[in-house]
């Protein structure tokens, strides 16, 4: 007979949002040794690699993104109507999600990401050219913030004169994650409308004159005669903007913060650029910008002898999974030549596994290749200011770097 989750005596994870990363790792490792579940101020958390994977692969657990409004007790008919008419791949489940994913997946292969590699390199070179001779910069504002937007725009086929507009709309659409829909919903909906209108026009143009870009691929994408309609195409564009910009910029900042503190690894990458793909995987394991994800039980679920009643929320810890010493030899060592361990969890797992993983990998690899060549002996040039750990997508707020 399974024990209801509310009756378990679980270790408590008490994170100070500004605690140090190594302290957090220590706290989570202690909890991992006691139990596969822990209590946090936000609810129950799964801490071990195998259980995080099992739960994310179990289709009875649904993405909590679908509950954003409900969790904030935000009850607004316009919001509800728009979100039921315009389903996002990020929060749909079951056959709707399978259908979307089947149609769009062929447009997100490593080969289509490779198409953009020369563009990625040139964006990075252009960003650093103005200050590289100074030998120092504030890396978040000057490099991470501006890096992903032109790439997402190029991916979607939006011309350079619209990049500014995309950045502006992204800022408002991102308010979705601020936890304050009561205040932010009007700005979010206005930005969504503007973006949808813009994409509708771009879709007309691409239908008339196909190009080498994701939008053209998505328009052409079909699975046994089934295609995305215009509204679905617009939703995909927004999902890509939402999921693909802040993640990449924070992950790049995490990478450089790590390398600045591990000069021998930076030197290794500089001397052996062929290590770039492994370096990205190790950076994402060691200091992932996405710390975990949340699911809710779509029905009563029994797992590992525990009963989770329908509606239970559960957080999965990528930090716990990525440092689980049953999966990684010397999990605490940052080593870009590491091989033969389990894949990191920072792209998630199961049906919502990051659709843009190939693109994100290419963006990070190309960025690190340019930077390791042009910023030798990179080091900290002041204190790193970190975002509080309770934000969904995490990394340095301020990262002062200097190089030789």
Range 287-316, binding ligand HEM (CB under 6 A): 289-290, 293
CB of 113 to ligand HEM, least distance (A): 9
- Burial state string for 108-143 with b = 16 or more CB within 10 A and e = fewer than 16: beeebbebbeeebeebbeebbeeeeeeeebbbbebb
Q: How far is the CB of 382 from ligand HEM (least distance, A)?
A: 25
Residue among 356, 395, 396, 400 that touches ligand HEM (CB under 6 A)? 356
Contact with ligand HEM (CB under 6 A): which of 37, 202, 240, 370? Answer: 240
Stretch that binds ligand HEM, among 21-29, 179-187, 244-252, 370-378 (CB under 6 A): 244-252
Asked if residue 237 binds ligand HEM (CB under 6 A), the reply is: no
Site string for ligand HEM, 123-162 (x = CB under 6 A): ----------------------------------------
Q: How far is the CB of 352 from ligand HEM (least distance, A)?
A: 4
Stretch that binds ligand HEM, among 76-84, 198-206, 237-245, 375-383 (CB under 6 A): 237-245
Whole-number Å distance between alpha carbons of 176 and 243: 12
The residues with which 43 forms a beta bridge, in sequence order, are 40
Closer CB to ligand HEM, 11 or 244, in the complex: 244
Pick one of 90, 165, 389, 402: the residue that binds ligand HEM (CB under 6 A).
90
Near ligand HEM by CB under 6 A: residue from 221, 239, 378, 384: 239
Nearer to ligand HEM, 181 or 284 (CB): 284
Phi, psi of 387 (to 5 degrees): -70, 155
Report the site for ligand HEM in 41-70 (rule: CB under 6 A).
63
Decide whether 228 or 354 has the Cβ nearer to ligand HEM: 354
The distance of closest approach from Cβ of residue 220 to ligand HEM in the complex, given in angstroms and rounded to an integer, is 17
Phi then psi for 267, rounded to 5 degrees? -60, -40
Q: Which is nearer to ligand HEM, 252 or 378 (CB)?
A: 252
Complex with ligand HEM: residue 37 or 55, whichever CB lies closer: 55
Q: Are 302 and 2 in contact (CB under 8 A)?
A: yes
Task: Report in angstroms how near the CB of residue 155 gets to ligand HEM at its nearest.
Answer: 7
Q: Does 354 bind ligand HEM (CB under 6 A)?
A: yes
Tell the smallest beta-carbon distance from residue 347 to ligand HEM (Å): 5
Instruction: Please provide the size of the chain in residues.
Output: 404
Q: Is 365 in the site for ligand HEM (CB under 6 A)?
A: no
Pick from 355, 367, 369, 375 the residue near ligand HEM by CB under 6 A: 355
Size of the site for ligand HEM (CB under 6 A): 23
Cβ proximity to ligand HEM, 294 vs 307, nearer residue? 294
Q: Is 101 in the site for ligand HEM (CB under 6 A)?
A: yes
In terms of Cα–Cα distance, which of 322, 333, 336, 321 is closest to 283? 336
Of the candidate residues 248, 317, 365, 372, the single one contacting ligand HEM (CB under 6 A): 248
Please pick, from the candidates 247, 317, 322, 327, the single residue that binds ligand HEM as defined by CB under 6 A: 247
Interacting residues toward ligand HEM by CB under 6 A: 63, 89-90, 101, 239-240, 243-244, 247-248, 251, 289-290, 293, 346-348, 352, 354-356, 359-360
């Amino acid at each position: 007979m399974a024990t209801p989750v509310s009756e378990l005596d679980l270790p408590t994870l008490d994170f100070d949002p500004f605690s140090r990363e190594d302290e957090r790792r220590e706290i989570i490792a202690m909890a991992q040794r006691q139990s596969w579940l822990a209590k946090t101020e936000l609810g129950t958390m799964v801490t071990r690699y195998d259980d995080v994977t099992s739960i994310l692969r179990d289709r009875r657990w649904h993405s909590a993104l679908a509950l954003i409004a409900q969790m904030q007790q935000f009850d607004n008919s316009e919001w509800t109507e728009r979100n039921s008419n315009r389903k996002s791949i990020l929060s749909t489940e079951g056959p709707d999600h399978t259908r979307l994913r089947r149609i769009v997946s062929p447009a997100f292969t490593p080969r289509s990401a490779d198409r953009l590699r020369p563009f990625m390199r040139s964006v990075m070179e252009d960003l650093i050219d103005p200050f590289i001779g100074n030998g120092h910069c504030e890396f978040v504002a000057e490099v991470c913030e501006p890096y992903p937007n032109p790439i997402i725009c190029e991916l979607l086929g939006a011309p350079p004169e619209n990049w500014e507009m995309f950045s502006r709309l992204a800022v408002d659409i991102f308010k979705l994650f601020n936890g304050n829909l009561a205040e932010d919903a009007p700005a979010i909906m206005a930005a969504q409308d503007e973006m949808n209108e813009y994409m509708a026009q771009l879709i007309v143009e691409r239908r008339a004159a196909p190009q080498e870009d994701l939008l053209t691929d998505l328009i052409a994408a079909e699975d046994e005669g089934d295609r995305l309609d215009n509204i679905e195409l617009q939703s995909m564009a927004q999902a890509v903007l939402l999921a693909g910009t802040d993640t990449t910029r924070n992950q790049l900042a995490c990478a450089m913060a790590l390398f600045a503190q591990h000069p021998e690894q930076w030197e290794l990458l500089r001397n052996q650029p062929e290590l770039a793909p492994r370096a990205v995987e190790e950076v994402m394991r060691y200091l992932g910008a996405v710390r975990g994800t949340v699911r809710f039980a779509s029905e009563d679920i029994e797992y590992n002898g525990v009963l989770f009643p329908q509606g239970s929320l559960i957080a999965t810890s990528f930090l716990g999974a990525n440092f689980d010493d049953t999966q990684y030899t010397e999990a605490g060592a940052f080593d870009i030549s590491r091989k033969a361990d389990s894949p990191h969890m920072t792209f998630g797992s199961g049906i919502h596994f990051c659709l843009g993983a190939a693109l994100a990998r290419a963006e990070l690899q190309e960025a690190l290749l340019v930077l390791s060549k042009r910023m030798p002996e990179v080091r900290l040039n002041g204190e790193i200011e970190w975002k509080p750990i309770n934000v969904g997508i995490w990394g340095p707020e301020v990262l002062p770097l200097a190089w030789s």
